[in-house]
Chains A and B, each alone.
Chain A
């Protein structure tokens, strides 16, 4: 009896260890087959024990089933109930679903279970400690994002998890990408960001739930191809949790789909008032009072101030008053400065897309655009210089912290480009390129974090192509080729 118990325990332990050792690009790999062979033997043994009337055989069969389908068991039982330790332990030996990175898969399972459990500090610390190891694959980005989500920092979670969706090929475990896409889609649907959701491409890793959410989003925003009622029903039927999505499906079916209007130049609505100064103040007050001001309102305010500043009665009155007060400066210039400061602040806070338009280079809007562009560029240079200096002095951070630095700089650059336009992009790219390239080269050559470095080179190449920077394109093509 004791001998049999020892053999069974050793056999199960061996099967787990063989699963742990598995890291194959294709499945089933050598270790996966070896694991199944051992588990098959144990299952036969457990079955014979059950047939002999020994109840221990049932326990053996249960453990064998758990080790044979670790992800299915973790996903169905352990993760929803928040059992993060068991989920991590079981998925660590996954040789099928996480065949390409079960170390990362186990971290994802633990982080996901931690989210379900309400973010216990021990679980979050456990995941973070393991993410700091230098041999982490791309799946740790999902785990780190889930830890951020468990802490309530959804903005950071979106950045981390969104960055994983950009990985292609064998650089990222397939399941990690599938889950990341699902999380991004669910988050966008919860926020009502349907346009963003509709833009998710038909990815090879999209699962049924994500595909259904994308179809609904396409219907809501009228993005081509707009799904028909039958297509929506079909997409909904393939979702395992379809009962809980019924209300969303009904809303989508009731929605009258119409093709989205092409991008058009939005004309601001002028505020009508006999006194242009008063009209400008009214528009300005509405802009500042608005919880979510948009570009149209800001343009309206800028135009209202242009009318006020072009009104001779107002400017004469202001200048006369300045003479009465015996001031030295130009009152109109100081009014412009204050006005520009207000509008730049509103545009930055609301992350407004002001764009670049040489036709309106003059006037309040033109000044606001220039000031905003200059400030964004200055801030970008500060962030890029900090990264470059750290890389030069070889002060290494844990790989997930390095990735965070990369995402921060990239996010600052993308936000600046989105708010302004291609002119700023061409000015900003060289400084971003220098810093990120230095980091990626360091990661590749010295620290052997090739998955992350390759992804950085890919992003730099795509930006270099947008900026038509021939030198950078040639350099990053070579760098990307090294990682293939």
Chain B
């Protein structure tokens, strides 16, 4: 699993729970999303993360519930769920990088590409 998937798959985002959610709330939220997904409700199909919108699946919900049942793993996820909104709506940090001059197709005139 890469860094993006790791964060986007944070169980608190998948279950749309606050960091203070109790064990019972986790179970209730999990069952709710599973039922909604089974009914094919559009509202249940996606969830929001700081890295954008992701698809919610029954497997993801079950994995999220399992992650939050284990206190060790839950503690690892909690510091990463403070942000709930996508990062794209937050002002990006200033960047000093510049794109420079765009390219020019020199392969064609010099006949290095397909005719």
- Is B truly associated with A? yes
Chain A, Cβ-Cβ closest to B71: A325
Does B3 touch A at the CB level, under 8 Å? yes
- What A residues does B95 contact at CB under 8 A? 269, 294, 296-297
- Shortest CB-to-CB span from A207 to chain B, Å, is 10
- What B residues does A321 contact at CB under 8 A? 75, 78
Size class of the contact patch on chain A: 35 or more
- A289 is contacted by which of B6, B72, B78, B87 (Cβ under 8 Å)? B87
Chain B, Cβ-Cβ closest to A255: B101
9-residue interface stretch from B36-44, B53-61, B106-114: B106-114
Does A341 touch B at the CB level, under 8 Å? yes
- Shortest CB-to-CB span from A167 to chain B, Å, is 20
Does B24 touch A at the CB level, under 8 Å? no
Q: Is the CB of A194 within 8 A of B101?
A: yes
Separation of A209 and B108 alpha carbons in the complex (Å): 13
- What B residues does A345 contact at CB under 8 A? 2-3
Separation of A118 and B74 alpha carbons in the complex (Å): 54
- What A residues does B72 contact at CB under 8 A? 325, 327-329
- Shortest CB-to-CB span from A326 to chain B, Å, is 6
Chain A, Cβ-Cβ closest to B110: A186
Separation of A296 and B95 alpha carbons in the complex (Å): 7
Does A312 touch B at the CB level, under 8 Å? no
Q: Kindly name the residue among A119, A190, A245, A296 whose own CB sees the greatest number of chain B CB atoms within 10 A.
A: A190
- What B residues does A393 contact at CB under 8 A? none
Given contacts A220-B100, A255-B101, contact A288 B80 (CB under 8 A): no
- Shortest CB-to-CB span from A214 to chain B, Å, is 11
Within 8 A of A (CB), among B46-90: 50-52, 71-72, 74-76, 78-80, 82-83, 86-88, 90
Q: Is the CB of A296 within 8 A of B87?
A: no
Given contacts A116-B115, A192-B101, contact A342 B3 (CB under 8 A): yes
Does A14 touch B at the CB level, under 8 Å? no
Chain B, Cβ-Cβ closest to A341: B3
Does A322 touch B at the CB level, under 8 Å? yes
Separation of A208 and B107 alpha carbons in the complex (Å): 15
Separation of A325 and B50 alpha carbons in the complex (Å): 25
Separation of A26 and B81 alpha carbons in the complex (Å): 72
Given contacts A289-B87, A331-B75, A346-B3, contact A266 B96 (CB under 8 A): yes
Given contacts A285-B87, A325-B71, contact A191 B103 (CB under 8 A): yes
9-residue interface stretch from A274-282, A365-373, A467-475: A274-282
Q: Is the CB of B82 within 8 A of A81?
A: no
Does A105 touch B at the CB level, under 8 Å? no
- What B residues does A189 contact at CB under 8 A? 103-104, 106
- What B residues does A331 contact at CB under 8 A? 75-76, 79
Q: Is the CB of B94 within 8 A of A82?
A: no
- Shortest CB-to-CB span from B78 to chain A, Å, is 6
Does A334 touch B at the CB level, under 8 Å? yes
Q: Is the CB of A117 within 8 A of B115?
A: yes
Separation of A107 and B115 alpha carbons in the complex (Å): 19
Q: Is the CB of A247 within 8 A of B115?
A: no
Which residues on A are within 8 Å of B, measured CB to CB? 79-82, 112, 115-119, 149, 182-183, 185-187, 189-195, 209, 213, 220-221, 241, 244-245, 247-248, 251, 255, 266, 269-271, 277-278, 281-286, 288-289, 294, 296-297, 300, 318, 321-322, 325-329, 331, 334-335, 338, 341-342, 345-346
Which residues on B are within 8 Å of A, measured CB to CB? 2-4, 6-7, 50-52, 71-72, 74-76, 78-80, 82-83, 86-88, 90, 92-97, 100-115
Q: Which 6 pairs, one residue from A and one from B, show the smallest C-beta to C-beta distance?
A: A192-B103, A285-B87, A244-B109, A285-B50, A186-B106, A342-B3
